[in-house]
Amino acid sequence: MNGEPARTALISGASSGIGEATARRLAADGYAVHLLARREPELRALSEELGGTFTVVDFADPPAVEAALATIDEEIGVAVYAAGTLTVSTVAGHPLDLWDQTIAVNLTGAFLFSRGIIDRLRPGSRIFFVSSYAAGKGQVTQSAYAASKSGLERFAESLAAELEPEGIGVGTIAPGPVATPMLDIENASPFQLDAAQVADTIAFCAALPPSVVLRPLGIRAAIKGPFANRPR
């Protein structure tokens, strides 16, 4: 490898939204992409379009995650954890199974993802976690989501402390509302980023020299997005 990180990218949550946009952008930048998500038809179509590979996996299923990551043999230059789920409920009426599902995908899944690929990262490799503005500010009816993303950021900080001395970068991208189907909910902010803008940010950070230390990065939209004021 001559000291250069591998031109391979592993992207979770790649069947839609930010994960899909990131897969497209990194493939366009010359990365060989391996895609991970739950929905096989979407993954298959995208991998064929991009000339990549894919594995179907549910990040709420720890044994399945471990098995899926164990099949990946190559060194990884960029790894992106973009898998995520959003549940909307008041605390008083929040079903426990939906709380557990949110924590499992948004937080525990990130831990499993990281643990499963650490031995495939080398100096110069980068790992990114897609967080949210909700990590720093609780939102009405989004208690599970906010808690999971706040935990994700603390996890990423701890991982960075372990990996940065080895020359492996750990970054967290915390976008404001993003115009994806997950945001098609009541009372969503009208100011929405495009998923491609988040992907562009990840690609920019991935291209920084290994000597640049990554720190949490927040990005927001300044214009209204396509889900704003949608009739219901």
Determine whether 31 is an active site residue: no
Question: Looking at 31, 81, 133, 145, which residue is catalytic?
Answer: 145
- Which has the closest alpha carbon to 203: 75, 78, 118, 54? 78
- How far is it, in rounded angstroms, from Cα 9 to Cα 47? 12
Burial class of residue 37 in the structure, from the number of CB atoms within 10 Å of its CB (0-12 exposed, 13-18 middle, 19+ buried):
buried
The 8-class DSSP code of residue 164 comes to G
Tokens of 188: 């969503």
Judge contact between 78 and 9, C-beta under 8 A.
yes
- Residues 44, 14 contacting (CB under 8 angstroms): no
Greatest Cα pair distance, the chain, in angstroms, is 56
163, 121 in Cβ contact below 8 A?
yes
**Would you please indicate which residues are annotated as catalytic (active-site) residues?**
145
